[in-house]
């Protein structure tokens, strides 16, 4: 019987698929390929192309980490007009056992096995073993998962905490919230802490700062967060630098809210596509300042360890772990 399996991390911007095989409890990777989500109209097209590259390898089990809520093993992706259905995949591709899990639940599954060089420390804190952990990450959207200690191991809990309300912490952020309300009926934290959110902060500042005659380099047409990041990090553009700084302040405040909500003395982990690219800026201090600015609990906030996850494959790594667990279950 084939021991081949497929795992995937399906996001709004990119998709990473992996074909592996279990041999004597050891996992061997046969094929790995990354796709741009925008190049396809549905996930079946992606999977069909990937399996055509797999040639004679026939998978019997699959686990896909998807960027969206899951109900009855079906998911409508938050930032893609796709619906993914485990039963439909089983029928269409003759894979006997298919499971969908949330992408940040998958990412959380990989945390315990990450080597030290995959983590950058922002705050050492006072680590308490077997305490709650939280994983969050800005990228195409904002993902969040909890890790809670049960039965001598950490259990991931998927959430949609990226869609809670954005809470401004100063007058400039208040004005940005009003700016966002003109675009969206509900301004969630994902509308701010995401690639599109960074672009919106930049475009807001062009208008706001131009009115106040604070900066003169305005009216740049930007619709891509990588352009804003490049303007800030490589060209030292003043508005881009200010936009990135505001983004980092809001990121720190939100991470602090989650740490306080869960009393995450086991660690706060920043994943996603953005944090590794701005790691030096995150270390400059504004992130931690906003993280710890919690009034009477400001001193306690200094006890939470904070790490940046530099490995961009943790979603598919977690899906592999879930496949291993699925194989060990009788049902």
Q: Concatenated DSSP letters for 155-179?
A: EEEE--GGGSBP---SHHHHHHHHH
Q: CA 308 to CA 276: how far, in whole Å?
A: 7
For the chain (331 residues), the mean pLDDT of every run of 10, in chain order, is 85 93 82 94 95 85 93 92 95 95 93 91 96 96 95 92 96 96 95 96 86 57 87 92 97 98 97 95 96 97 97 93 81 48
Q: What residues contact residue 214 under an 8 Å CB cut-off, 6+ apart?
A: none
Helix (H) or strand (E) holding 135: strand 133-138
**Domain regions of the chain by residue span:** 4-108+313-328, 115-310
Q: What dotted CATH number matches 115-310? A: 3.40.367.20
Check residue 58 and give its pLDDT.
Answer: 83
Beta strands in 41-96, from DSSP E residues, in sequence order: 61-66, 70-71, 74-76, 83-85
Check residue 199 and give its pLDDT.
Answer: 96
Check residue 19 and give its pLDDT.
Answer: 95
Which superfamily is assigned to 4-108+313-328 in CATH? ATPase, nucleotide binding domain (3.30.420.40)
Check residue 207 and give its pLDDT.
Answer: 84
Beta strands in 237-305, from DSSP E residues, in sequence order: 267-271
Check residue 213 and give its pLDDT.
Answer: 56
The model's pTM is 0.91
């Amino acid at each position: 019987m084939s021991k081949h399996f497929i795992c995937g991390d399906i996001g709004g911007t990119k998709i990473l698929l992996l074909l592996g095989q279990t041999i004597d409890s050891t996992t061997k990777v046969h094929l790995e390929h990354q796709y741009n989500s925008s190049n396809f109209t549905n996930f079946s097209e992606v999977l069909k192309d990937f399996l055509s590259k797999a040639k004679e390898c026939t998978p019997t089990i699959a686990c896909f980490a998807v960027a969206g809520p899951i109900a009855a093993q079906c998911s409508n992706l938050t930032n893609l007009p796709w619906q993914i259905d485990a039963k439909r995949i089983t029928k269409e591709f003759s894979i006997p056992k298919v499971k969908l899990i949330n992408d940040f639940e998958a990412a959380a599954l990989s945390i315990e096995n990450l080597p030290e060089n995959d983590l950058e420390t922002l705050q050492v804190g006072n680590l308490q073993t077997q305490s709650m952990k939280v994983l969050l990450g800005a990228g195409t959207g904002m993902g969040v998962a909890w890790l809670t200690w049960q039965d001598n191991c950490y259990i991931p809990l998927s959430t949609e905490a990226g869609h809670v309300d954005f809470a401004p912490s100063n007058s400039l952020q208040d004005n940005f919230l009003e700016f966002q309300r003109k675009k969206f009926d509900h301004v969630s934290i994902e509308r701010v802490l995401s690639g599109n959110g960074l672009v919106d902060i930049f475009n807001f500042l062009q208008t706001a700062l131009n009115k106040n005659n604070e900066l003169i380099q305005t009216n740049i047409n930007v619709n891509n967060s990588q352009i804003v990041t490049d303007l800030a990090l490589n060209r030292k553009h003043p508005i881009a630098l200010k936009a990135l700084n505001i983004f980092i302040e809001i990121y720190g405040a939100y991470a602090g809210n989650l740490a306080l909500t869960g009393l995450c003395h086991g660690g706060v982990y920043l994943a996603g596509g953005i944090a590794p690219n701005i790691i030096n800026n995150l270390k400059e201090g504004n992130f931690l300042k906003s993280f710890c600015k919690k009034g009477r609990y400001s001193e306690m906030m200094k006890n939470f360890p904070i790490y940046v996850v530099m490995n961009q494959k943790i979603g598919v790594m977690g899906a592999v772990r879930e496949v291993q667990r699925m194989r060990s279950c009788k049902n």
